[in-house]
Amino acid sequence: MEDYKILIIEDEKQMSMFVEMELTHEGYKVATAYDGSSGLEMTEENDYDLILLDIMLPGLNGIEVCRRIRQFSRVPIIMLTAKSDIPDRVLGLDVGANDYLVKPFAIEELLARIRVHQRNKTDMNKLDYIKVKDVVMDNRTHQVWRNGREIELTKKEYDLLERMLINKNVVLTREQLIESVWGFDYEGDTNVVDVYVRYLRSKIDDKFEDKLVTTVRGVGYVIKGD
């Protein structure tokens, strides 16, 4: 296995030592930070594949750390919350976290979540720009243009478009899109994909002659490009 580097930002030493030990045992390369500022600093200086970020941290809290990391990196972030504190959880996802786990969690659960992000690992974390035909996506500022005109997208529409652009010329099934955009534990209807593709088309395709998103009947969707 290629090195997969995980940073744990967690002030409870017993907890972080336990997680570090388990992850190391699984073959991951693990680094730890015990407060928000040093975690942020380490993220700026190193290239991690995934970050486990506690919300309640001394000094700079996890929400703030997440917000600042998102200004320069798309690294997957799993938030760890002490209790089922809904506002914190929502806030975490709101500032760009990919996932969250409520403590205490079973290590198997954490490993399962990590594997999902590992499967999704592509160069997308490092790509600043994606360009397919006349569509340009700037991952640093989360802006999208088509034919030079900026297109305003919601987060889900953006994620959906990004997934399809990265996998251009590959037909993605509804299930694949659900897993990478909504998360593997999404339990709703897969029709949600069709609904969001419709939203996306209304913004990115309706005013243009050359349609970007193609429906492949009975399979899913594809964006074709050079």
Residue-wise DSSP of 125-176 = GT-SEEEETTEEEETTTTEEEETTEEE---HHHHHHHHHHHHTTTSPEEHHH
**Block residue for tokens 């997934």:** 163
Residue sitting closest to Ca ion (CB): 56
| Smallest separation, CB 23 to Ca ion (Å) | 18
Residue 56 interacts with Ca ion (CB under 5 A)? Answer: yes
| Smallest separation, CB 56 to Ca ion (Å) | 4
d(CA 69, CA 204): 28
Residue 54 interacts with Ca ion (CB under 5 A)? Answer: yes
Would you say the C-alpha torsion 166, 144, 202, 94 has a positive or negative sign? positive
CB-based contact 143:150 (threshold 8 Å): yes
Q: Which is nearer to Ca ion, 10 or 99 (CB)?
A: 10
| Smallest separation, CB 32 to Ca ion (Å) | 13
**SS3 category, 222:** strand
Q: Which is nearer to Ca ion, 11 or 134 (CB)?
A: 11
| Smallest separation, CB 48 to Ca ion (Å) | 19
- Selected range binding Ca ion among 7-15, 21-29, 32-40, 88-96, rule: CB under 5 A: 7-15
Residues in contact with Ca ion by the rule CB under 5 A: 11, 54, 56
